[in-house]
A and B are shown apart, each in its own frame.
Chain A
Amino acid sequence: MKLSVHLIRLLFVCFALTGVARAGLTIDITQGVDGASPIAVVPFGWQGPSMNAPQDIAQIISDNLQRSGLFAPLSRSDMLSRPQTGEQVNYRDWRLLGTPSLVIGRLSAAGDQFKIQFQLFDVNRGAQLVGYSFTAPEKDLRRIAHQISDIIYETLTGEKGAFNTRLTYITSKHWQSNNTRWYTLFVSDSDGHDQRMVIRSKEPIMSPAWSPDGRKLAYVSFEQRRPMIYVQDVFTAQRERVSAFKGINGAPAWSPDGTRLAMSLSKDGNSELYIMHVASGKLQRLTHHRGIDTEPSWSPDGRNLVFTSDRGGRPQIYKIPVHGGKPKRLTFEGRYNAKPSYSPDGKRIVMVNGENGNFRIAVLELETGIMQILTKSRLDESPSFAPNGSMIIYATEYLNRGVLAAVSVDGRVQQRIALDEDGDAREPVWGPFLTVNKR
């Protein structure tokens, strides 16, 4: 009897990324940049057996560029012409409309593969800036659209795009019908589409962390009635419990080379930082203090960890070399600073800053020591940089629900990311750059 109750309680389901896709998140700009750069993304031409193309590639690109806050795509109804090839482009039309950048393209079916071509033009100079051709099966067309968005973004801004990336996040949903709460770890594309379940459990799940190659997630699950760390391959759904010591097994963070996990364990009395070599399970202890030491994050060069510690009386951010040593305190502004995470270039640290009962996302410039608070609500947490360093995704509360949001590093662009179903969303983590499709 006890066993069966236990089994039901521990019931959870793993799905590989090949599972059923659903709409996941809807991302809206809540604040844009003045003077976002106008751009026209003309509907792609289509040649194939069906009436309509299987994906509206131009719309995906246009939505991506708009969400970045840096571009203002021209409405389709305002277009004077809809060129599909370079010869059909009449630069005068686009100069009249005041769109300095123009994207056109074509999609054609060839057996079960599709050929996707696109060109980006500088309207004022009357010249092509970049143009590529891809071949992909239907299931990868959205991904191709994200790759094209990345190329356009990088060509026009000089910064690498982060559209062809994934997010992970956790939802908590209460089912009225049978009075149960389910915790689910999801992965979706960076635009919130193609949501896939990674793990679902009746016991809490927390602290997901992407491996640097974007293949694995480490996370904390309470399915054994206490927090333990698991690593799961997001493609095969194979998973392994990597840390199940007495007490807390929490806050996993992958080293930049993907061989080690920093974590917080309380097996030796209270929360201390450790580094585990994943393949061997070998542990190295880093901190020795009766305060809480947790939430480690690796510097991009792999040499240091920043972490949360209340060794000074309140939670603040400290830095420690990965080979051990004396922790150095980094934050002095604010009563509560926690959950630090390095920017991809290693020059900044994003964190949760608590002051006057409000918890907000703040960025510390390491060279100058200047701290900037980026958000205005009161329960913001779990900030995570996009791999190109342009945006920070985080969790917040909106209309009494847990939702996700994103803010540009300069605070000027803000997005709200709503879950397309009931429940609370939390703990978003932006995944690494995905390798380009080579099929």
Chain B
Amino acid sequence: MRALTKALAILIPVAMLWGCSTTPTTTDDDMTAGAETGAETMSSDVQTGAIGMGDVDSGVEVGGVEGMGGFVGDPLQDPASLLSMRTVYFDFDKSEIRSDARDIIEAHARYLSGNPSTRIVVEGHADERGTREYNLGLGERRAKSVQQIMTLLGVSSSQIEMVSYGEERPAAMGHDEDAWALNRRVEFIY
């Protein structure tokens, strides 16, 4: 027990460092590439993530203490985990979950049901085609499809906050199908 406490005392700050050092880097990359959301969204990602890291539950369950030999730290920070994929994509004017999105949503749902004190914002987005307020509704409908699957998989609805940005926060700035495909999406913000 004493050893565990000791290990935690080391691991938690390490995990917190992870939270502080890596995520801002991601922000920079994403912003210059214009490939992810705006700085605001990313910084909220950082904040909530950092609070999650301080959570003893998530610190204990993972990695190092039990000597799995794999990634040490919160699986949310594991670049090899499906949890590192924070975006799922949709077809035009559709809110049905595509098959390529299932595994990602399930991984997040498993994590959340195993960490009932962790909360997530599920952000729905649309591409620029069509009208803005309709797209706001469409973004919400996409967020809702994701939320419904997560609840079915055992995530408490109190853990999920939904918000739609419609077409107002594109991930890619172009005006062609390549950009649109990246913009029809739901993002998971921890």
On A, residues with C-beta under 8 Å from B are 2, 5, 9, 179-181, 202-204, 206-207, 222, 225-227, 247-248, 250-251, 264, 266, 270-271, 292, 294-295, 308, 310, 314-315, 336, 338-339, 352, 354, 357, 359, 379, 381-382, 397, 400, 427
User: B47 contacts which chain A residues (CB < 8 A)?
Assistant: 2, 5
Q: Is the CB of A352 within 8 A of B130?
A: yes
Q: Is the CB of A359 within 8 A of B39?
A: no
User: A206 contacts which chain B residues (CB < 8 A)?
Assistant: 132-133, 136, 166, 168
Q: A204-B168, A247-B140, A247-B162 are in contact. Are A315 and B130 (CB under 8 A)?
A: yes
A-B contact pairs, 14 of them (CB 8 A): A179-B31, A181-B38, A207-B132, A222-B165, A226-B163, A248-B136, A251-B133, A266-B140, A292-B141, A338-B130, A357-B129, A359-B130, A381-B130, A381-B132
A173 to B43, CA, bound (A): 20
**Which B residues between 114 and 153 are near A, CB-CB below 8 angstroms?**
128-134, 136-138, 140-141, 144
For the complex formed, measure the closest distance between the CB of A157 and the CB atoms of chain B, giving whole angstroms: 32
A251 to B163, CA, bound (A): 16
A400 to B179, CA, bound (A): 12
A5 to B164, CA, bound (A): 22
Q: A5-B47, A248-B137, A264-B137 are in contact. Are A202 and B130 (CB under 8 A)?
A: no
On chain B, the number of residues with a Cβ less than 8 Å from chain A's Cβ atoms is 30
Contact of A308 among B39, B134, B165, B174 (CB under 8 A): B134
A266 to B134, CA, bound (A): 12
User: B175 contacts which chain A residues (CB < 8 A)?
Assistant: 379, 397, 400
A250 to B134, CA, bound (A): 10
Verify if B169 is at the interface (C-beta below 8 Å from A): yes
* CB-based A-B contact count at 8 angstroms: 98
User: A315 contacts which chain B residues (CB < 8 A)?
Assistant: 93, 130-131, 134
Q: Is the CB of A179 within 8 A of B39?
A: yes
Q: Is the CB of B130 within 8 A of A354?
A: yes
Contact of A5 among B43, B134, B137 (CB under 8 A): B43
On B, residues with C-beta under 8 Å from A are 31, 38-40, 43-44, 47, 93, 128-134, 136-138, 140-141, 144, 162-166, 168-169, 174-175
Known contacts A206-B132, A266-B137, A315-B134; 10 further A-B pairs (Cβ under 8 A): A222-B165, A227-B164, A248-B164, A295-B133, A308-B133, A338-B130, A339-B131, A357-B129, A379-B128, A382-B132
For the complex formed, measure the closest distance between the CB of A295 and the CB atoms of chain B, giving whole angstroms: 5
A248 to B134, CA, bound (A): 11
Q: Is the CB of A294 within 8 A of B93?
A: no
User: B132 contacts which chain A residues (CB < 8 A)?
Assistant: 206-207, 339, 381-382, 427
Q: Is the CB of B168 within 8 A of A336?
A: no
Q: A9-B40, A222-B168, A397-B175 are in contact. Are A354 and B129 (CB under 8 A)?
A: yes
A397 to B180, CA, bound (A): 15
Residue among A271, A354, A397 with the highest chain B CB neighbour number at 10 A:
A271
Q: Is the CB of B136 within 8 A of A294?
A: yes
Q: Is the CB of A271 within 8 A of B140?
A: yes
Q: Is the CB of B131 within 8 A of A352?
A: yes
User: A427 contacts which chain B residues (CB < 8 A)?
Assistant: 132
